[in-house]
Structure 1
Amino acid sequence: MSELLTAAPRRVRTRALAAALPQVPVAGQALPPVSLPRESEGAADRSPVLWTGVPRQGIEAARARAWQGLRSAQVRWAELLLRVAPHLTLLAIVLAAVWVGGIQRPVATLERAPSLTLEHPPISPRVPLFPDQSAVLPPSFLVRPVDPAPVARAQSQPSYELRTYVVQPGDTVWDIGERAGVGMWSVLWTNELEDDETLRPGQVLRIPPVPGTGRTVAAGDTLESIANRFKVDERTIVIANNLRPGVEPLVGAYLFVPGGRLPIPELIPGHATGRIGWPARGWISSYYSGWHPGIDVAASHGVPVYAADGGVVASTGWDRRGYGNRIVIDHRNGYVTTYSHLSRFLVGPGQLVQKGAVIGHNGSTGNSTGPHLHFEVLRNGYYVNPLQFLR
């Protein structure tokens, strides 16, 4: 073809060159079909002028589409970041506050403010000082100290609540008073019992928290008269029974009087009171029966043995019938009491004793399997059950 162009005139060559060049389409006009060179054709027949323009336009269009897609993805990511940015900022602030201040529980000696709850313990507050600075306040900023005065008053106020106790077989008023730490007389007075009354298994007793007495309000009773009777202050009765100051108690109401006392019968040596008391502190190991004319009070070796009532010592010594060391007291009112298996005598025949006097020590002499006191009561010469008289 080059030979034709060289030999032809200039005008002819121009036309031939124009016909040989690819036609550039006008806007809105379709591209004419282009025949690409085949692989079998020689390299000399592949004219770059015939097809280099078409791939260049396709590459630019692909680049434009790729760039437009990239820009669209960037816009979508930017919109997403703008949406979640406030939430991420708030989360970062909370994590920073917890990391710096920590979650603090109130101190044990402090009381929570009313607005605080256990479910939401206080976080150490941060007070802004300047745009980039803040101060962390201690947890005590959110709490207030407890007033120790009411706590001290509550702790110093004794409790006067009465307990109840069900009498068990073998219980004595001595033992109950000893275990409660208030003594025999307080148990008797609190339950308004006489000292010669017998306790029965199943009987319910009031047990006072402190030594004192009790009183069921009768017609005509006033706080003043009750206080004078038991020699205590009226305020003590009011506090112990949760009464309103200046208001008299109702008839039939029971009042506990802390520190109250009743007159104890005067004990005169040799004179019987007519009320037989417990001869020792312990528990009943054997009861009265036809073949056992008394009761056995089990107690430790050497504990005191007391005169059950006032009288005169009739005899002391060894009894060969199995009683061992034995004391017999005549109360000179038709009653006689005996005390057996003693380890030591503290009185002698003819000696006058008063009720409750120590007459010997507990032991295990005679026919005995262990330390105990065998106690008997005779009325007009006949054995009777001692539990008829003992409290």
Structure 2
Amino acid sequence: MFQGKKVLQQCRRKGVLTGMLTLCAALLLVAAVYSYHAGFGYVVTIDGAEVAFLAKSDLKELTAFIDQLTDDAEIAFQMQVMRNETLDFVEDRRPGEHQSIAAVKDELRQRLSFSTYGYILTVDGRETVALKSVDDYDRVLRMMKKSYAAERENAVLKDFVIQEEIDFIKRPVQPDEIVSVEEAANILLTGLPQRKTHLVARGDSLWSISRAHNISMAALEAANPQIINRQLKPNDELNLVTVEPLVNVLTVEEVTVTEKIPFTTKYVKDNKLYTSQTKVLTNGKMGEKEVTYLITVENGQETARRVVKETVLSEPVDKVVAKGTAAAPKSGTGRFIWPLASGGTITSTFGPRWGKMHYAVDIAAAGGTPIRAADGGVVTTSSYRGSYGNLVVIDHGNGYSTYYAHNSRLLVKVGERVAKGQTIALMGSTGNSTGNHVHFEIRKHGTPINPLQFF
């Protein structure tokens, strides 16, 4: 009985041991399988070059990250983009070599770049600026035409010709190369800064070089900081930054304007006037006409114009002037004429003024107005005389003399015999004077008398 129990216990122990061995073997197998598969991952390559080894479990997160980079680029540039680099994932087994997902993301963030398809404007085959779409290409041409149409008031654009061949090609570009319609039109019309050089020759100066290349002195000096005190030597090489249009534009504009028609002056003889005298019988009046021109403009500069229509709106009125034929006496008559041919404003009369006596009449008019002899006689003074300024005095030979002061210019000489109405000086403000006027005195036997009693 006892021996039977002992055998039974031994059998039970053997069964437990066998089970444990089986379990251990199974666990070892699972661990081995896990270890084998855990070594699998993806070799990440950019344009065929390996950049990282990614755990298999991180692939989904990484592809989502790449999609996010693309979305971010499209938001930033406001356009559809494409990745410039070829990105591949090659499965491989490298136990213990996996890089962290964060490290792989950083690597791709630095290495990946994006581009978009742009429409490159070409001028006679030369690439210029990149646009976003074909529609932008059409809009650029329309904007260029519109900018010329708006330049001249009352102008109707009849023709617009870009003398170069404008086209476009489609190819990948960096998103920041894309320019707006406004920028593209402006660049084509005004150009981009271009760097050139100038070899200094004997006799050159900064001023002459700036004029020759149509750039400012300031821009020339800024481009050449090596210049000291504007001193140049032959064979010095200067940097030039010039801007020239990329296209040449010719326009034909129709412009309608209103223009004045000048009147003519006709003279008639009058034997009641001295030869030095004239009298306006009819004031002239300008007419008006409406003129339509066709104007040719190249790069903003007018090169030709021709009249295509002209309509007279009002005819001009001739000015009629009577011209004296009577010989003026060169001696005094005792009858005086106004020292200005017409008009003038009396600014001060004969009599008390500012606490003392004013012995003349002041007559104001524009500077340079002709002053004429009030009567015939002999010039006794024609020079600068203190407070009178430039003074002319005429002795009329009958006890009368006349004074003409403050003139800007004297036209007669002492001893010269002048006729009534002859121009003797030009109005000014010399001497003790506060404005353009003639100080006109009449004296009888040396005593001043009121000139206005004669008029």
Question: TM-score category by the smaller chain?
Answer: 0.3 to 0.5
Higher relative contact order (CA 8 A, sep 6+): 1
Structure-1-length-normalised TM-score: 0.33
Determine which structure has more spread, i.e. the larger CA radius of gyration.
Answer: 1
The structure that is strand-richer by fraction is: 2
The structure that is helix-richer by fraction is: 1
